[in-house]
Structure 1
């Protein structure tokens, strides 16, 4: 089941608040708890939530970058 945009944004905001305060456990509106082992795990979860939100909003991040360079001549 795909989460709604509002739920994803709420989860992201809750996770950001927890991360900023140093709390490693998050409880959602349903009472489900998630305990993170490290700040790196929290950062990965935030990144994934941001990706999902961008995808729903139609502004997905590019999967590749193309560089155009020259010698300046």
Structure 2
């Protein structure tokens, strides 16, 4: 499934309002928890990034500090 910015907008609106139901593509989805909604948002964000720049490897850096 190809996600769109509208999908992400709907998820983020639900998160902001504390609603567990989201409607997009003519379907209504009710998530079990805010955690599930946050995971769905992360999946959609990742997929949108892949669509914008296919084939570009992603990397991250962890920085540790001693206190």
TM > 0.5 fold call: yes
Root-mean-square deviation (CA, aligned residues, Å) is 2.2
Q: Please list every run of at least 4 consecutive aligned residues from structure 1 whose deviation after the TM superposition is greater than 4 angstroms.
A: 64-67
| 1:27 Cα deviation after fit | 1.2
For structure 2, the 5+ residue unaligned runs are none
| 1:8 Cα deviation after fit | 1.4
Larger Rg: 1
Compute the TM-score of the two structures, normalised by the length of structure 2: 0.74
Compute the TM-score of the two structures, normalised by the length of structure 1: 0.69
Which deviations, in whole Å up to 9, do the C-alpha atoms of 1:8-32 show, x marking residues without a partner?
A: 11000111001110110011142x1
For structure 1, the 5+ residue unaligned runs are 68-73
